[in-house]
Structure 1
Amino acid sequence: MADKTQDARQGRDYINTVAAVAIAPSGTGEELSEYVAQAVGVIRESGLKNETNAMFTNIEGDLDEVLRVVRDATLKLAAQGHRTGVSLKLDIRPDARDQMERKPQLVNEILAQRSES
């Protein structure tokens, strides 16, 4: 049964969203880690579930909150005068939770079953 938790502030159903986002400035040189760290810092301070890998930071939460955090992280760089590029992919599943853990878990289970055959 779908979890229809209400977002108390909006009076609407929670819309679970997993985002893969990469935020980086243009024209700042070859090494972007210092700038990426600033954007990732905003994401980590948001309190939303997140993880960073070599290419993206994944975020999970309500759609509106995820989009707000992506906006805030982008503005962290843009407000410094940097032309800022954002790559964003969203997986919106209103009836799901904990997809950042569950998706890799499911793939691992399928691979384990195949190796047992």
Structure 2
Amino acid sequence: MLVAFSLTPMGVEAGVAGYIADAVKIIRESGLPNRSDSMYTMIEGEWDDIMDIIKQATEAVAAKAPRIQLNIKADIWPDMPAPLDGKIALLEQRITDTTPDPASPPG
């Protein structure tokens, strides 16, 4: 399972790095494969493990911010090994593959 989520502290100044740092630290220390960018954090793992980490991260932000928006998007693909990197590998393979895509209409 791959989950992308974002925590947005509300009612605080425009710069939120100080509010999010503790959450990212929890995620990184979880041992689950993860990646953060400027908009989302992605975590790979089992449902309960991921949701527990999201809960801990949310609580860390809640300790500093009066309100939080939490957005979660999940990709549940049981046959995809290592979806954090596997989905990108599939995309890269398709980009470099010169054979016609069977899903594309001819012409």
Q: How many residues align?
A: 99
Matched, 1:98 2:82: yes
Taking the TM superposition and a 5 Å limit, the aligned residue runs for 1:1-117 are 17-80=1-64, 82-114=66-98
Residue type at the aligned position of 1:75: E
Alpha-carbon deviations, 1:44-66, whole Å to 9, x = none? Answer: 11111101111111100001000
Using the size of structure 1 for normalisation, the TM-score is 0.77
| Equivalent-residue separation in structure 2 for 1:35 and 1:26 (angstroms) | 10
Query: Can you give the 5+ residue segments of structure 1 that lack an aligned partner in the other structure?
Result: 1-16
Alpha-carbon deviations, 1:12-50, whole Å to 9, x = none? Answer: xxxxx1010111210111111111222111111111110
Using the size of structure 2 for normalisation, the TM-score is 0.84
Query: Can you give the 5+ residue segments of structure 2 that lack an aligned partner in the other structure?
Result: 100-107
Change (3 A) 1:96 1:111: closer
Q: Secondary structure at the match of 2:97?
A: helix
CA contact (8 A) 1:63 1:92 kept: no
More strand by share: 1
| Equivalent-residue separation in structure 1 for 2:74 and 2:90 (angstroms) | 19
Residue type at the aligned position of 1:76: A
Q: Secondary structure at the match of 1:75?
A: helix
Report % sequence identity. 32
